[in-house]
């Protein structure tokens, strides 16, 4: 496996946090990892160091320059809405085929090397008038690393996302659950129930923890060799 798609069971569940941690681990193990988050909404061009693209560039050890930003995230929109709505407010329309072609070019360029492609919003979030993240994922056909939260209701959202991913014929070798800020559901019990109900390996990531040892298990489940 040389490329994966990082998808979310919903919005703001920790996709970028998980992707950045995996990138740092791969780099620490000497892997020439690449990343692509081609589509971003809610982007402030005047202050983007702590944005999702900024955090991914930092994890890659890349400079926070416009050139690096354009390579990582070529389609950026200001409004914190679904990409199709955000683009419309700027008089733009996203061409899904151009998005897919950009990803395919990056996949080809990273043949045999780890590449993480991060989606936007949740699995069924619209990216264009007649396309969702799932359509984008299905066109690429990559294994999916699904990231979910631990808030009340997250079990249903994660299982639903996993079901539609599998129904599209895509594999999901591992599900990562990033602890949500709202502590209204027991984290460990959420992990246990999801593992039983999903039949997939579940890896939990505690909020604010400095321990990134979980990255080794995730990379192993993805089939990427890690050290230590």
- The answer to whether residue 216 is domain-embedded is yes
- The answer to whether residue 118 is domain-embedded is yes
Q: What angle do CA 217, 223, 226 make, to 5 degrees?
A: 55
- The answer to whether residue 228 is domain-embedded is no
Mean pLDDT of the chain, nearest integer: 93
- The answer to whether residue 138 is domain-embedded is yes
**For residue 34, what are the domain limits?**
3-222
- The answer to whether residue 46 is domain-embedded is yes
What is the total count of domains within the chain?
1
**Predicted TM-score of the model (pTM):** 0.95
Q: What is the CATH number of the domain that holds 133?
A: 3.40.50.300
Considering the candidates 15, 25, 37, 76, report the single residue annotated as catalytic: 37
- The answer to whether residue 134 is domain-embedded is yes
pLDDT band at 89 (very low <50, low <70, confident <90, very high): very high
Reply yes or no on whether 37 is catalytic. Answer: yes
What's the burial of 29, exposed, middle or buried (CB within 10 Å: 0-12/13-18/19+)? Answer: middle
pLDDT band at 121 (very low <50, low <70, confident <90, very high): very high
Task: Kindly tell me if the per-residue pLDDT of 105 is higher than 80.
Answer: yes
- The answer to whether residue 227 is domain-embedded is no
What average pLDDT score do residues 38-48 get? Answer: 94
What tens digit of pLDDT does each residue of 60-71 get?
999 999 999 999
């Amino acid at each position: 496996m040389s490329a994966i798609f990082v998808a979310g069971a919903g919005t703001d569940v920790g996709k970028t946090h998980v992707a950045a941690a995996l990138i740092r681990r791969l780099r620490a193990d000497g892997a020439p990892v690449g990343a692509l988050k081609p589509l971003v909404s809610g982007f402030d061009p005047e202050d983007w160091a702590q944005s999702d693209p900024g955090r991914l560039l930092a994890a890659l050890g890349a400079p926070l320059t416009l050139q690096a930003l354009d390579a990582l995230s070529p389609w950026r929109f200001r409004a914190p809405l679904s990409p199709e709505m955000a683009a419309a407010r700027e008089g733009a329309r996203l061409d899904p085929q151009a998005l897919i072609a950009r990803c395919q070019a990056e996949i080809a360029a990273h043949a045999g090397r780890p590449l993480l492609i991060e989606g936007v919003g949740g699995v069924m979030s619209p990216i264009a008038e007649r396309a969702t993240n799932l359509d984008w994922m299905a066109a690429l056909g990559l294994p999916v690393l699904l990231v979910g939260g631990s808030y009340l209701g997250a079990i249903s959202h994660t299982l639903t996302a996993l079901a539609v991913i599998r129904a599209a014929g895509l594999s999901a070798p591992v599900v990562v659950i990033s602890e949500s800020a709202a502590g209204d559901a027991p984290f460990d019990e959420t992990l246990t129930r999801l593992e039983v109900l999903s039949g997939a390996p579940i890896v939990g990531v505690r909020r604010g923890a400095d321990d990134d040892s979980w990255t080794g298990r995730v990379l192993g489940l993805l089939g990427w060799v890690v050290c230590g």
